[in-house]
């Protein structure tokens, strides 16, 4: 309940609202062209989340539902809609999160700790996410729609009990 309404509204507008607006204006154009493919970038936080990220997690969970709804509504139009849920990926946002969630520790130390939480033992790269997006946007994934694809180094494959 520490999330203020302004932060909540901004996070949902940026993460969820922007995809809605793309769909609202983009799908009619895609229909005119005979179809296409949309890839939504969700997050593992839409499936399971850490503390202190209520707005972010809610917005990413909403993207998972929006992906499925759009896929169902537009399959007959030849439009495929899928989402990707990255785990910890080395980006400026991850670096800001590392600084926020572990103040006083070097960012690199926290990022290594984030990576160690993934069964593959490291954070991912933007290139690894891009490869999955490229596949989903290509004709090679012509029978894929309404799915969410994890690129999370195995993070959601297990449970936290050791």
What residues are labeled active site? 56
Q: Are 53 and 78 in contact (CB under 8 A)?
A: no
Sheet holding 79-86, edge to edge: 36-41, 79-86, 148-151
* Residue 81 phi, psi (nearest 5): -130, 120
What is the chain's length?
162
Helix (H) or strand (E) holding 148: strand 148-151
């Amino acid at each position: 309940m520490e999330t203020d309404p302004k932060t909540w509204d901004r996070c949902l507008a940026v993460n969820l609202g922007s995809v809605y607006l793309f769909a609202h204006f983009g799908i009619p154009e895609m229909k005119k062209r005979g179809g296409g493919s949309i890839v939504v970038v969700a997050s593992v936080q839409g499936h399971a989340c850490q503390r202190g990220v209520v707005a972010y997690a809610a917005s990413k969970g909403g993207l998972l539902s929006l992906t499925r709804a759009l896929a169902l509504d537009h399959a007959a139009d030849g439009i495929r809609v899928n989402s990707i849920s990255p785990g910890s990926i080395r980006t400026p946002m991850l670096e800001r999160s590392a600084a926020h969630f572990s103040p006083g520790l070097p960012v690199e130390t926290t990022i290594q700790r984030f990576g160690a939480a993934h069964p593959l033992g490291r954070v991912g790269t933007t290139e690894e996410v891009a490869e999955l997006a490229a596949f989903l946007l290509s004709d090679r994934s012509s029978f894929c729609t309404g799915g969410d694809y994890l690129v999370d180094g195995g993070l959601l494959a297990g449970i936290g009990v050791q």
